Structure 1
Amino acid sequence: MSNPNKEALDTQSGKMTFWDYMRAIGPAIIISAVVVGPGSVTTASTMGASYSYRMLWVVVLASIAAFFYQLPAVRITLSTGNSIMESVRLQYGQKVSLPFYFCLLFGTCVFQAGNFLGAAMAMNYLIPGISLVVWTIILVAMGFILVWIGKFDLLENFTKVLVFVMVASFLFTAVASSPSISAIASEGFSFQIPDGNWFLILAMVATTMVPDIPVSLSALHKKKYCSEETSEGGLSMANKYKLAHIDLVVGCTITAIITCSIIVCSAANLFPKGLTVSSASDMAAQLTPILGKYAGILFSLGLWAAAFSSGMFRIQLMPMLYNQATGQEEDMKASRSRFFMILTSAVPILIVVLFGKAPTSLIVTAQAINGILLPFICGVVWKISSDKKYLGENANKPWFNGVFGIIFIVTVLLAVRTFLSLLKII
């Protein structure tokens, strides 16, 4: 058998049917569900409430950057049969892959608290008689049980339903807001930076380019395309790459649609009244007196779907990534896998119980920690995807290194901004 590392991805392929493309939609949809959480909802709501439609262009550019940020995950996995986490272990040993994993785990546990607390805030709006802490425990338990069952196809299909709920909820609310199409066209893509607010722009980039998404996408692609258990494993290399590429385009497009819908909704309803937003659930409360109760319900439903899907799949991904970091069999029923399922479920509950009285601060803290991790992870992905000895003809081309270099600089700026924020310098 030839070494896949030395084989370039063929550009020729057989004919693909419509259903082939439909079946390909999966891994990147899951990642879009992971990306769109309470942090991105809050940031998008703030953009619209503060600056109307003038920051829509930021979402589009951030989604394009997220596409290029994740693209190496597709190439590394399909050309080698190894995920990014496995590639780190194979190239640098467990002395690097394990610290790399535990950095991800630390950021994930804090981020998980923000995810499930965001979902709890949405449910608390719909059923206010139950406290945030109790809702958090209920939702974590739901996510944990779904992952514990171990039916990956069930989780993937359920996530697709949640993504549909997100798109429908936020899009319908935006349309019901009767936004000005001419204002969207004239202001939304004028590439203005209102008040010179670079920090809000960086915040949107940070919520769209979540640190662990290329690593997670890579693990999902390995399961879908490189496993003997899946029918996709028998596809030609060119077709695998084509389908994975389509999936990534769809995933990033959905992320952009959801985020733009939130900005439009906030711009049309809150900006004219001078209302501000301090949290995602705040947005639902602000919409109720303007558009009626159904708008608050729809927005809360979208927030719940965004936050819960993000939290649930991280419970699934962390055990998978640990097995890859240590080179052990990816058995989700093994005791080590069960341990990390429990850990990524229990730690968020503990954090919410201890710090739940300041939910917005908790979400912001989670964003900050992930912002600091971003350049480290981006740098590792860049190095592996540029390694010609490992990837052969599939290593980054010079033009792609240029694009990724710009992305890396942006991640460094994000980390600096986050660090200064934590020190209360800005």
Structure 2
Amino acid sequence: MTQPVRTNESGWRRYRRIGPAIVVAAVVLGPGSIVSASRVACGEGFDLLWIVPLAGLLMIGMTAAAMTIGVCKERTLCGLVADRFGRWAAWLVGTALLIAITLFQASNNNAMWMAVMGFRGQDATAADSNLTRALGLLLFNGAIIALVWLGRRDLYRWIEKAMAFLVGAMVLSFGASMFASNPNWADVFSGLIPSLGSETAANLSQTDSIANQDDASIAWMSMAALVATTFSVAGAFYQSYQVKEKGWKRNNLKTGFLDVFVGISSLALITAMIYITAASALHEKIAPEELTDASVVALSLEPLFGSWARTVFSIGIFAGAASSFLVNALIGGVVFCDAIDVPCQVSSAPVRRATIVTLLAGWAVASVAALTGVDLVSFIVIAQSLTVLCFPLLGAVIVWQLHGLSRDEAGLPVRVLAWTGLIVVIALSIRTLSSLIARINEWL
């Protein structure tokens, strides 16, 4: 059911209407992002903090571009691709996004268990078997599936309200953790100045041996994962579908831009708080490879600040997992249904079925990782960086349709940021693929 917005609303009423970009922020800022940002900050300190606001700026541009297309075009993005290139091309776009979504969902499953371990403490989780983890995640997915299947017709409106609450919970919990870590604010501001830092630069420049090549690959994948914590083209792509779900039109562009700015700024702010906490509390105190799961991040805060710190940080992890768990799968369901030319409204039966399949696929990948004993944090960082490989196609579709709009609809800043974002994800995809190939050759 669409929810048209009046065009003569006051500023305060328009502010109250925001929601789609909050949903995007909630789904992008999942547990995978929390773990990736924590591990990179633990290893690099404040040196790479500048990547977070840069990625946030690119995300604002790409999300604003997708929002503008959604309100100004009658057809959906996959529908526009099918009209121009044929249905096979729409299938390709939908499959690319579904791959990214499945990887995100697998990391969401693993990190949900990490949140549970953070609440329970190290002693309580020591006896947990990999099978227990897989079965526990199956029960949680079953509850989410029940919610999807039995959800009311106003499911989207309920999701918006729930995501706003969970984003607020993350701001409070991670904000409290950041101030408790007592960061050196001079170091924080220094980290906002773009640089690679001595350790990262050394790893990237020394590739004369297998060991150094491995260090360089890890450095590049860490940077790619950190970009993916905030700059998700898949999330931006979905923004065009959300504004159609709400019934927004050209006259609602001001509301749309306000929505994008507030939602994505919240995303970047929370990611930065997580990064600052880890850089302050964990850098040079614990090796990144010792962060075997997110509960270790929470538990590492306990000796410094007390048991409350572990609980507060775990609340943030749980809020991140809960916020992205359903909506992440829903994105895959909506866009894939549109790609195969069936009804793609959130409340439609095809979308619910596709969402359930995506939930089960994410659980299956996470369960295989659990049963084989794969290090969860390494799995999440790799999954986060692999999603970058799927982003160029989605970004290209957004930029392609952006150029069909007038300058009054999509101004120069949005166009420049969208193009820059596309170039960044292409470069990251090429470098990430090269690093993965190098590591696979080493393993072989």
User: Residue by residue, what CA displacement relative to the aligned partner does 1:277-310 show, whole Å, maximum 9, x if unpaired?
Assistant: 4543331121122221111111111112112211
Residue in 1 that maps onto 2:216 = none
Is the partner of 1:82 in helix, strand or coil?
coil
Is the partner of 2:17 in helix, strand or coil?
helix
1:33–1:163: 8 Å Cα contact kept in structure 2? yes
Give the one of 232, 251, 263 matched to 2:263.
Answer: 251
> Which one is further off, 325-334 or 265-274?
325-334
Residue in 1 that maps onto 2:10 = 16
Residue in 2 that maps onto 1:10 = none
Residues 300 and 135 of structure 1: CA distance in aligned 2, closer, same or farther (over 3 Å): farther
Is the partner of 1:56 in helix, strand or coil?
coil
- Whole-angstrom distance in 2 between the partners of 1:20 and 1:399: 22
1:116–1:139: 8 Å Cα contact kept in structure 2? no
Residue in 1 that maps onto 2:210 = none
Amino acid at match of 2:13: W
Is the partner of 1:273 in helix, strand or coil?
coil
Residue in 1 that maps onto 2:165 = 161
- Whole-angstrom distance in 2 between the partners of 1:296 and 1:74: 38
TM-score by length of 1: 0.86
TM-score by length of 2: 0.82
1:216 aligned to 2:238? Answer: yes
CA RMSD of aligned residues (A): 2.4
Matched length:
399
**How far off its partner does 1:263 sit?**
1.5
- Whole-angstrom distance in 1 between the partners of 2:261 and 2:173: 22
Residue in 2 that maps onto 1:180 = 184
Is the partner of 1:424 in helix, strand or coil?
helix
Residue in 2 that maps onto 1:137 = 138
User: Residue by residue, what CA displacement relative to the aligned partner does 1:86-107 show, whole Å, maximum 9, x if unpaired?
Assistant: 3223333312112211221122
1:53–1:267: 8 Å Cα contact kept in structure 2? yes
- Whole-angstrom distance in 2 between the partners of 1:399 and 1:182: 31
2:225–2:382: 8 Å Cα contact kept in structure 1? no
Give the one of 34, 46, 51 matched to 1:41.
Answer: 34
Residue in 2 that maps onto 1:339 = 353
Amino acid at match of 1:43: S
1:263 aligned to 2:275? Answer: yes
> Which one is further off, 107-116 or 42-51?
42-51
**How far off its partner does 1:401 sit?**
4.4
Counterpart mapping for 1:191-340 below 5 A: 191-195=194-198, 196=201, 199=220, 200-226=222-248, 237-238=250-251, 240-271=252-283, 273-276=285-288, 277-330=291-344, 332=346, 335-340=349-354
Amino acid at match of 1:192: S
**How far off its partner does 1:42 sit?**
2.3
1:70 aligned to 2:77? Answer: no
Amino acid at match of 2:272: C
1:380 aligned to 2:374? Answer: no
Residues 404 and 41 of structure 1: CA distance in aligned 2, closer, same or farther (over 3 Å): same
Identity of aligned residues (%): 25
**How far off its partner does 1:38 sit?**
2.7
2:52–2:268: 8 Å Cα contact kept in structure 1? yes
Is the partner of 1:212 in helix, strand or coil?
helix
Residue in 2 that maps onto 1:32 = 25
- Whole-angstrom distance in 1 between the partners of 2:413 and 2:169: 38
> Which one is further off, 287-296 or 119-128?
119-128
Residues 211 and 392 of structure 1: CA distance in aligned 2, closer, same or farther (over 3 Å): closer
**How far off its partner does 1:219 sit?**
0.8
> Which one is further off, 329-338 or 34-43?
329-338
- Whole-angstrom distance in 1 between the partners of 2:366 and 2:49: 32
Is the partner of 2:435 in helix, strand or coil?
helix
Amino acid at match of 2:367: V
Residue in 2 that maps onto 1:152 = 156
- Whole-angstrom distance in 2 between the partners of 1:163 and 1:288: 24
2:96–2:393: 8 Å Cα contact kept in structure 1? no
> Structure 1: where are the runs of 5+ without partners?
1-12, 227-232
2:100–2:234: 8 Å Cα contact kept in structure 1? no
- Whole-angstrom distance in 2 between the partners of 1:393 and 1:65: 19
> Structure 2: where are the runs of 5+ without partners?
1-6, 205-218
1:89 aligned to 2:111? Answer: no
**How far off its partner does 1:320 sit?**
2.1
1:108 aligned to 2:125? Answer: no
**How far off its partner does 1:180 sit?**
2.2
Residue in 2 that maps onto 1:9 = none
Residue in 2 that maps onto 1:4 = none
1:120–1:139: 8 Å Cα contact kept in structure 2? no
- Whole-angstrom distance in 1 between the partners of 2:328 and 2:9: 35
Is the partner of 1:271 in helix, strand or coil?
coil
